[in-house]
Structures are given as structure tokens and as C-alpha cells.
Structure 1
Amino acid sequence: GLFRPDRVRYLARAPGRLDVMGGVADATGSLVVASPLHEGVVLAAQKRNDRLVEMCCLDPQTGQTVDELSWSLSQLYASDGQLLHADRFLAGLEGAVHSPGKAVSALIYALLERNRLPPLTEGFTLAVWLGITAGCGAGGMAALQVAAAQCLATLYGVQLDSAAVVAACQHARRTIMRLPVGPMDPLVALHGEPDGLLQVQCCPARVAGTLPVPQGTRFLGIDSGKRHPQAEEKYRDAYAAAAMGFKIIEALIRRHGADPLRAIQCLADVQPADFVTRFRDLLPTRLRGREFTRQLPEGLGEACPIEASKVYKVRSRTEHHVYENQRVHEFVSLLARARHTGQVEHLDAAGQLMYSSHWSYGQRCGLGSLETDLLVNQLRKKGLACGIYGARVSGGGAGGMVTVFCADGDRARSAIQEALDTYRAKTGIQPTCHEGSSEGALAFRPRRIE
């Protein structure tokens, strides 16, 4: 077996997340709303008596191995005992280009670099049961890293609070793996509550509270079963263009001296009215990478290298992030009103904001897909009469998961099933429903297994 029976093991679990509203705008500081999924990641860890790190990913249904990675602790350190540069360490992980093992390895490096783990002198074995389909847009990577951080901290007797876990996950993803992502996923994996919507304010990163779901309604996810082959590249480009827009706005404010706007730390701090009247028309619709770096040589940071020859659609990508933050705030207010009044018009208005978000994902961000459009359109046709309030592509977009807001009743269930049947008939793809929720990793806590 993977583990020795005479040594203690620790078990941790973290859920995936259903991005209800906000999505990619978490990377630019927006308020986002998400729910922990019923599905998640389970990870077990045990110390070894050698210097190997052995990772094995298992199918939770069959128990079959789906991915393996092994490396020696010597690959972490230079001859003087100092950590190697992260790029050199990751380059030495053969076969881990996109594997779960790379995400965990980056997390281990981040914990060591931030002095959250002691220098490693003995290896360990990690077994991972992935209950979330890779690439479906349900926060699987963050759930895996959260579970790994908690399990390893317990294994080595280290105290890690939630802020330290989120910081390590963000360092692993943004600085080491160079993925320009926001803090939503690890925060939901940690703090999520069953049957509640976690509000996350992303600049600075903090939990803003849990919003109860209005009585008689529910949220569910539909995995379209299709992910654009260049989904990660499309996401990076969309983020880079929005980040360029923010840098240009900052430069415009500096150029004009004292500004009546409150200090802005991120794109979400730019109010839509100010954006329209003061900045929108000064942003280029398209900008080549080399032209941006000529004007602003500081670039966008390690997480987002700029390609000199690539053309970035700055204005439209920036617009999405500014307006998405406003949509999320309105969405939260409408759900609160619906919960207190029971009036269906508030549910309908919240759903319309989801449809607007979906449109903006595709038309402003370039993160739509034929498959998710088909699912959303089929659900929208069913409409309020069938208990369907709203739907939108979620997560990083470009395929993946669709979030649905609907009544909790047979009529809505039948309407959703009909939409799924139509989708399968038109695409030949079997979509998968994700229903229900679960507690976050802070409530589960790592458990000792003798």
C-alpha cells in the first residue's frame, strides 16, 4: 500500500467552489459570491524514513491511480542548503507540467519560502482523492492546495491560520506557477458554509460574511464537459488587458495631479460613473504588448508577463471588471431583499444580473464558449415561468461550469433536465450537475488516522 501501517497519518479535506457571481473579477479586487461544493479534495499524508516526496492521485470512485509524481528533497536545495529558485525547482519536476502534483509541489515550495514549514529533512507520502474534474472551473487546484497546507502543517506540528494558508496558496499560484488569480478559491475552500453564499472582498482579501440563500431557491453547477483548449491562455490575456487598463488609469490620475477620487488600490475601486466620464474613452481599444511596456516599463508583475507582439483588448476587458464589481454588489442587495420580502421580482432581477455577467464574459472578456452559451440560452428560454431565475458561465470561463439560480422545486428540476437533454442532443456531450454543498476546510480540520 501507499502508507506504512506502523506510522501515523493525517487526513484533510477541502471543498471545491461554485462561483455564483464575480468570477474572474476576483483577480482585480471585486466583491465575489461563491458557495462550497459538495464535491471536494481529500488528502492524506504520512512521514517517510527517506528523503523522497511521493504523491499519488486516485480516482475516488475506482481507487485507480490517475497521476503520480516523485521527487527528492535534494531538488529543493542548493549545495549551500538554501532553497533553489522556484523556476529551477519546478523545471526539475518531470511530467508535472499541468498535474495536481505540480500544484502541491508549488504549495510546498511556497510554505518553505515563507518559513511556514521547517527545513525538510525527511520525506513524506501524499495520497490525493480528486472529487473535482480538473479544468471544470470549480476551484479544484485551490482546494487541493488548501488541503495540502493543512495536512502538512499538522504533520510537522506547525500552526497555520487561515490567512497564512491563503497567502501560501496565492504565493504558489501567482508567484511560483505564474497564474494571475485572485483569492476567492482558497478563501471559499477554507471558510465556506453549507447552504450559504460566502461573500469575499478581494482587495484586500477578506471574508465579508455569509449570505443565506433565499427560502425556496437554490444554486447549482452544470459542468458543460467542454473546456477550450487555450482556456488558460485566454484567461491570462483577458486578465493582462484589464490589468493594463488599471495601470493606464493610475497613470492618468498621476498625470492630472490631485484627484477627487478616493485612493484606488485595484480596479474594483474605480466606480462605473467615474470610469465612463473620466477614463473609458482614454483607454485604447487595442494595444500591442511592446507599446504598453514602452509607455509603462514596470509591466504587470511576475504573475503576468506581457508578450511584446500580442494585441490586448484593453478597453473591453477593463469594462468587464469595473461593471462586474457593481453587478455583484447589486446581486447581494437583491438576494437580501428577496430573503426579507419573499418577492419574486427581486429573484428575477438578481437572475438578470447573472445573464448580464454571462454576456460580458463572452463579449467583453472573450471568455465565452458555444457550449456554455447553449446551456445558458436553453435555461433562459425556460425562464421565470419554470422557476429558472438566472444562469452564467463561471470561474475562468472559456467552457467549464455554468452556475444556475432557480426555485427549489420539481418544476425547475424538470426544466433543467430538459435543458440538459437538449444540450446533450445538440453537442453529444453529457453534462454533469453539481448539487449540494459542504463545510469548508476550517470546519473539517485535519484528522489523525492511526
Structure 2
Amino acid sequence: MNRYHGGSAPGRLDVLGGVADYSGSLVLEMALSLETRVRIRALDEPVLRLHSEAHGRAENSAALLAAARREGATEADLREALRASGLPSWTHYPVGCILLLALARSWTPPSGLEIAISSSVPEGCGVSSSAALEVATLRALASLSGLAFEGTELARLAQRVENHMVGAPCGLMDQLASAHGSSGHLLPILCRPDVLGDPLALPPGIRAVGWPSGVKHSVAGHPYGRARAAAFMGKRLLEAALGRKVPYLTDFTPEEYHMQQEHLAPALPGEDFLDGWKTIDDPLSVIDPDAHYPVHAATAFAIEENDRAQRFLADLREHGQTGDEALLWRMGGCLYASHDGYSAMGLGSPETDRMVEVLRALPPSAGVFGARISGGGSGGTVAVLLRESALPTLRALADQITPGQRLLE
């Protein structure tokens, strides 16, 4: 029997930055202790078998593997083969990794493969279960194939899988955090597109944890897609107002945004934008003429979130030198402001709003510094910055407000 090759990768908690990643923002991510494990082995028979503890079994006659071995196959060919295979959607992540690895590295997969998936990373919670699955699968495939990845190459290939094989228009933040993050440390990522900073440990006695809302989140949903397109629409409008092209929306300063914000409509009809501007420089966004886009709020969020992340990081470093508690409260204020920004561009939810407001109303003595909806928003998980001694209070609130949802650490 051929031996298994394994790979693992953690979920991540988005402490600050979130959907500003596709606008070139600084984001601050923390790997969770929860992880996804993938085991892969070659089979002598021509079949593709998959087993997931969460989703069950699926099988394909190995036509997909044959497509990956076909000379001259393109990404579009492989995407169409995957969609025509009849395999359930959960398999598109690992199978997409096989197909794009074969294409990107001229690798010839075996005629048969067996894939086994187990995970403690909850799905639909906004903690990058999909990125963890992609990164873990590519690590297992690297062992199977003997191929090596350098730098951020693996994370970038994982993002291609999600964007082009699965069809979710996510930024690179999630895959980078899963591939390079470490538990208990903030990983600064400048999403231009993949500049990694040195991980920073949180101060002793200070924790960042996730509080799941129980509301399923998906970056393939309409609110996320519209907020993303709106940010790129805002970039186009600011470029015209300020008379210069920039690589990223976050190249504009908060001061420049405030001076020109009258050019940004709160709800811009897609038809009006297309009539005046035709297109945006984002290949993953499609502007619907009949939809309205939160251009003002999405533009403001990206520019201000980048500024918040810079200030949060500076305060964290200063706290390490001075121990000044006021800096922790200022960092918490950045989280609350970020949460409000999500809500303004349509990426909030009543459930996460209630969770954050309950925490915001606690007295300082409770030891909760700040909280925000995280990741792609629209439900998912609230990131909470707090004293370790405040964890029992948070667990009690979770039992009361979101019964059955355990904290993610």
C-alpha cells in the first residue's frame, strides 16, 4: 500500500484589517490553535477518492486527474472540468489545489489519489477554514510530489485556487495568515500583495480570541462582493478627483479622503458608474448595473482601516516598552471603530452588532478593551481583545447570548 503524505494548517483570527486587504492595507492576523489536517496517497487504480470527517465521501472516475495530465490544458479548462465533474462543492478546494499545482509546476499527478480531511477549524465562522484546507492540501501535495515552495508561493497558489477554482473573490490575507502565522502572535501583513512583518507576541496577560456568532459567513456572498467592488469604484473616483493614479486605494491618506469625500456617493447605482467610468481595475469584481454600491463607506473603511492597523501596531510596540495601559484601551478603540466601518458598508449583522455592543457597555474593570466583527463580515466571528482574567466573563456572555458557540483561541 502506498504511504500517506500529510499536511496541516491553522485557522486564523482577523484582529484588524479584514476586507481592507484587497485595497493594499496593513492587516494584523493571528493563527488559531485549531487546524485542518489533510492526508493524501497515490492509488494504483484510476480513481479520485475523497473523505471528509465533516462532509462524508465523494468519488470521481479520475477524469479530473487525467485532465490535469493533459498537455496544453489551461486554467479555464481545468476549472470547467471541475465544475462539470459533479463533485460536491466542498471537494473543489482540495481538488482545485491538485489541478492548479499540476498546471503551475508542470507536475503530473498519479493516475489515482485518495484524500482524507479532518479539521477542528469551524466552517462559516470567518476564521479561514477554506484557507486552512487549501494550505494543508498543498503541503500534503508538496510531500507527495517532492516539490518545494519558497517564500509566499504556497499562499499565493492557495489564493488562486479560491479565486479561480472555487470562485470566491478573497484577498491574499487568509492564505498568508494560515501559511505563516503562529498561535498567540500577531502577524503583520502588508497586502501589497504579500509583505510579511515579524510576528509580535501579545503582552503577558492579554489575549485576542474569537467569539463565533453562529451566523454563517461566506466571501462568495453579495454583500462582500459589493463592498469589494465599491472600494475599487472609490479608488477610481479618488484618482480622478486628485489627478493621480495609485497602485492601491490605501495609497491615499485619510486627509486626502476627507478632502475629497464629496465625490463618493453613499449608494452609487452600478449603471451610473458604468456609464461614466466603464470599468474598475479589479479582475475579480463584476459591477451589476441594477445594484447599488456603498462607495463612500467602502472607500473610507479601507483608508481608515489601514491607518488604524498602523496605529494599533505602533501602540502594541510602545506598550511592550512602557507597559502603559492607556495604549491597550486605544488599541481596543481601533477595534470598535473597525466594527462600525463594517456596518457602514453593509458587512455587519444584527447578531454581531449585539455582541459588540454588549462588550462595549462593560465597565473598564471587566478588562475587555475592544471588539469587532472580523474577516469578511456578515456574521462569522467577533474578535475580542481582553485581559486573560476576563475570559470567564466572556465565556459567560457567550453562553447567554450565543448558546452552543465556544470561544476560538
- The separation in 2 between residues aligned to 1:269 and 1:230, in whole angstroms, is 24
Q: Which residue of 91, 96, 121 corresponds with 2:88?
A: 96
The answer to whether residue 365 in structure 2 is matched with residue 385 in structure 1 is yes
The answer to whether residue 38 in structure 2 is matched with residue 43 in structure 1 is yes
**Which residue is equivalent to 1:418?**
396
Alignment of 1:118-267 (within 5 A): 118-227=107-216, 232-253=221-242, 256=243, 259=244, 264-267=246-249
Instruction: Using the TM superposition, give the Cα deviation of residue 80 of structure 1 relative to its aligned residue in structure 2, in angstroms.
Output: 6.7
For 1:409-432, what per-residue CA distance to the aligned partner results, in whole angstroms no more than 9, with x for missing partners? Answer: 2xx1232133223314xxxx4222
Evaluate the alpha carbon distance shift between residue 92 and residue 228 of structure 1 in structure 2; reply closer, same or farther with a 3 A threshold: same
> Would you say the 8 A contact 2:219–2:376 is kept in 1?
no
SS at match of 2:85: coil
**Which residue is equivalent to 1:11?**
6
- The separation in 2 between residues aligned to 1:214 and 1:354, in whole angstroms, is 17
Evaluate the alpha carbon distance shift between residue 421 and residue 153 of structure 1 in structure 2; reply closer, same or farther with a 3 A threshold: closer
Instruction: Using the TM superposition, give the Cα deviation of residue 44 of structure 1 relative to its aligned residue in structure 2, in angstroms.
Output: 0.4
- The separation in 2 between residues aligned to 1:334 and 1:302, in whole angstroms, is 36
**Which residue is equivalent to 1:21?**
16
> Would you say the 8 A contact 1:26–1:184 is kept in 2?
yes
- The separation in 1 between residues aligned to 2:165 and 2:2, in whole angstroms, is 32
Instruction: Using the TM superposition, give the Cα deviation of residue 359 of structure 1 relative to its aligned residue in structure 2, in angstroms.
Output: 1.1
Instruction: Using the TM superposition, give the Cα deviation of residue 357 of structure 1 relative to its aligned residue in structure 2, in angstroms.
Output: 0.7
Instruction: Using the TM superposition, give the Cα deviation of residue 31 of structure 1 relative to its aligned residue in structure 2, in angstroms.
Output: 0.4
For 1:239-294, what per-residue CA distance to the aligned partner results, in whole angstroms no more than 9, with x for missing partners? Answer: 111111112333445xx4xx5xxx621112111111111x3211233222233233
> Would you say the 8 A contact 2:219–2:225 is kept in 1?
no
Instruction: Using the TM superposition, give the Cα deviation of residue 301 of structure 1 relative to its aligned residue in structure 2, in angstroms.
Output: 4.1
Instruction: Using the TM superposition, give the Cα deviation of residue 68 of structure 1 relative to its aligned residue in structure 2, in angstroms.
Output: 2.8
Question: Which segment drifts farther, 85-94 or 73-82?
Answer: 73-82
> Would you say the 8 A contact 2:43–2:110 is kept in 1?
no
- The separation in 1 between residues aligned to 2:109 and 2:392, in whole angstroms, is 54
Q: Which residue of 321, 326, 348 corresponds with 1:368?
A: 348
- The separation in 2 between residues aligned to 1:347 and 1:298, in whole angstroms, is 42
> Would you say the 8 A contact 2:34–2:120 is kept in 1?
yes
> Would you say the 8 A contact 2:266–2:294 is kept in 1?
yes
The answer to whether residue 382 in structure 2 is matched with residue 402 in structure 1 is yes
- The separation in 2 between residues aligned to 1:239 and 1:182, in whole angstroms, is 10
TM-score (structure 1 length as normaliser): 0.85
> Would you say the 8 A contact 2:6–2:38 is kept in 1?
yes
- The separation in 2 between residues aligned to 1:172 and 1:414, in whole angstroms, is 39
- The separation in 1 between residues aligned to 2:240 and 2:62, in whole angstroms, is 45
> Would you say the 8 A contact 1:55–1:127 is kept in 2?
yes
- The separation in 1 between residues aligned to 2:68 and 2:33, in whole angstroms, is 42
> Would you say the 8 A contact 1:222–1:403 is kept in 2?
yes
Instruction: Using the TM superposition, give the Cα deviation of residue 229 of structure 1 relative to its aligned residue in structure 2, in angstroms.
Output: 8.3
5+ residue gaps, structure 1:
1-5, 60-65, 436-450
**Which residue is equivalent to 2:255?**
273
Question: Which segment drifts farther, 80-89 or 321-330?
Answer: 80-89
Instruction: Using the TM superposition, give the Cα deviation of residue 390 of structure 1 relative to its aligned residue in structure 2, in angstroms.
Output: 0.8
> Would you say the 8 A contact 1:228–1:369 is kept in 2?
no
Instruction: Using the TM superposition, give the Cα deviation of residue 408 of structure 1 relative to its aligned residue in structure 2, in angstroms.
Output: 1.6
> Would you say the 8 A contact 1:146–1:190 is kept in 2?
yes
- The separation in 1 between residues aligned to 2:356 and 2:30, in whole angstroms, is 19
Instruction: Using the TM superposition, give the Cα deviation of residue 394 of structure 1 relative to its aligned residue in structure 2, in angstroms.
Output: 0.7
**Which residue is equivalent to 2:406?**
432
**Identity of paired residues, percent?**
29
**Which residue is equivalent to 1:54?**
49
5+ residue gaps, structure 2:
none
For 1:40-87, what per-residue CA distance to the aligned partner results, in whole angstroms no more than 9, with x for missing partners? Answer: 10010100113322211114xxxxxx2333234433639974325244
- The separation in 1 between residues aligned to 2:202 and 2:310, in whole angstroms, is 15
**Count of residues in correspondence between the two structures:** 406
Instruction: Using the TM superposition, give the Cα deviation of residue 228 of structure 1 relative to its aligned residue in structure 2, in angstroms.
Output: 5.9
- The separation in 1 between residues aligned to 2:50 and 2:278, in whole angstroms, is 41
SS at match of 1:309: coil
Evaluate the alpha carbon distance shift between residue 291 and residue 119 of structure 1 in structure 2; reply closer, same or farther with a 3 A threshold: farther
SS at match of 1:129: strand
- The separation in 2 between residues aligned to 1:310 and 1:280, in whole angstroms, is 21
> Would you say the 8 A contact 2:232–2:282 is kept in 1?
no
SS at match of 2:213: strand
TM-score (structure 2 length as normaliser): 0.93
Q: Which residue of 19, 22, 26 corresponds with 1:31?
A: 26
**Which residue is equivalent to 1:111?**
101
